[in-house]
Amino acid sequence: MTHRFARLRRFHFNLPQRIAAGLLALFLAQGLWLTAHQTLSDRDYQYARCGREVWERPSPLAGYFTSCGNIHDGILAYRVAGLPLTLNLLSERGLDMLRKPEDRVVQAGGQVSTWELRHQLTHILFLLRLPFLLAGCVLGGGLWWVTRRLYGNFAGYTALALYCFSPAILKASVAPDPDILAALGVYGGVYTCIGVAHAMQGPRRKWRPRILLLTVTFGIAASAHVAALPVVALLGFLAMLWVAEGRRSQVLPIVLLAAAGALLMVFACYGFSPDAFSYMFRSAAGFLWFSLDPARRFFTSLPNAGLTVAAAAAAVLYLGLRRSRYFGNTAPLLCALVLFVLVATGVRGTPWLWALPFLLTFVGGVFADAYEGPRHRLALAAAGAIVLLQAVFCVLSLPGLL
């Protein structure tokens, strides 16, 4: 017990953590603003209905996992979207015992669908989006933790500020969609692989918790989008080979073990249904191809002007400053380049969104080298201007402000 309390005392909520929390609060506020200006769509009803079916009951259609069919475009998104609604309905059923019969949400002997509850549960839209918005906050917190740990406080603030004012991230975080979950799994998977590779230089007792965390992050990526598992496994494998000097023969077994555990997690998300699980492999869900169009559209979009300027400045500094070309900056750059040219051809997916945390990590790392240079004040002022530019364009893109 003493050891556990000692570990809890290591957590500090000092100025760096407060600044990061403030930036994430701004991100959350923007997400709530966007949610308040949205209306329920057919896609929302699909996620609400089939997400609840995953938790509450099997599909009434024989041979299918839900009334949406055998889901193969990210089962985790359906589970995440349906869980708050299922919990909310259970709480309403409990409160029905305190209501008059005519005021009860669930009438006697009736099964009530989300569609029929839309007038009684006015916060369905919020409940649908809340888990994805929280996933966006977790991804932002992970980005800040990685960049601060690798490059220092100011690099962490820069990367997190650009993340919190990214319209693409905000849009993905306020809709029932698997991409923000896949981005969380891919980013967490790659950097957990790097953490495992560093731990492999030490005693074996430090390997197990990191390998377990690696399995969980791989599982999040795989259950969010089936194509994310081979992508994160390959990128993580290459990063581990780079770092794990003297232990490279053990890298492949660790990655394969984590991938097998991830597939087991996906199987569990399908309720251990072999037919529904196998359909994921019998469909074209995992097909990927290469194209420069996603990157071109992203970097030429006006709301992403600050991100474009930051990426261009980081690329110039990376090529011009020899001290910037090291593993900590090169690894996220390569990951971002790979993900920006991938396109999902089987089911809906946006791998370029998965690339954004890596791009911001690269920007933070290169800017950190500039912050430590002879003209550090100029570098800080320039980075602040870039962040301000991105914040202005992002806020102006919010509905209802103009």
**For residue 6, what pLDDT is reported?**
46
Counting the structural domains of the chain, the total is 3
Closest CA to 355 of 214, 259, 228, 175: 228
27 assigned to some structural domain: no
Average confidence (pLDDT) over 10-25: 88
Asked if residue 160 and residue 296 are part of one domain, the reply reads yes
pLDDT in tens, 98-131: 777 766 666 655 555 554 555 555 578 899 999 9
310 assigned to some structural domain: yes
Q: Which domain holds residue 398?
A: 129-175+287-402
Indicate if the pLDDT at residue 68 is higher than 70: yes
Average confidence (pLDDT) over 50-79: 80
pTM above threshold 0.85: yes
Residue with tokens 């990376």: 318
Closest CA to 78 of 270, 298, 291, 237: 270
Express as a percent the part of the chain with pLDDT over 90. 61
End position of a domain, from candidates 122, 144, 165: 122
pLDDT in tens, 322-377: 889 999 999 999 999 999 999 988 777 899 999 999 999 999 999 999 999 888 89
User: Which DSSP string corresponds to 253-279?
Assistant: HHHHHHHHHHHHHHHHHTTT-HHHHHH
pLDDT band at 401 (very low <50, low <70, confident <90, very high): low
**For residue 298, what pLDDT is reported?**
95
pLDDT in tens, 245-254: 888 889 999 9
Asked if residue 363 and residue 323 are part of one domain, the reply reads yes
Asked if residue 97 and residue 187 are part of one domain, the reply reads no
388 assigned to some structural domain: yes
Tally Cβ neighbours within 10 Å of residue 36: 12
End-to-end CA distance of the chain: 56
Burial label, 172 (beta-carbon count in 10 A; 0-12, 13-18, 19+): buried
pLDDT in tens, 379-391: 999 999 999 999 9
Asked if residue 296 and residue 248 are part of one domain, the reply reads no
Asked if residue 269 and residue 210 are part of one domain, the reply reads yes
Asked if residue 147 and residue 68 are part of one domain, the reply reads no
Most confident listed range (39-43, 105-109, 236-240): 236-240
| Mean pLDDT estimate for the chain | 88
pLDDT in tens, 172-201: 999 998 999 999 999 999 999 999 999 898
CA dist., res. 66 & res. 61, Å (int): 7
Instruction: Please give the backbone phi and psi of residue 344, each rounded to the nearest 5 degrees, phi first.
Output: -90, 120
Higher pLDDT, 68 or 180: 180
Asked if residue 240 and residue 201 are part of one domain, the reply reads yes
pLDDT in tens, 256-284: 999 999 999 999 998 888 888 887 777 77
Asked if residue 341 and residue 235 are part of one domain, the reply reads no
16 assigned to some structural domain: no
Q: Which parts of 260-345 are beta strand (E)?
A: 288-290, 342-344
**For residue 195, what pLDDT is reported?**
94
| Token duo for residue 263 | 């597939």
270 assigned to some structural domain: yes
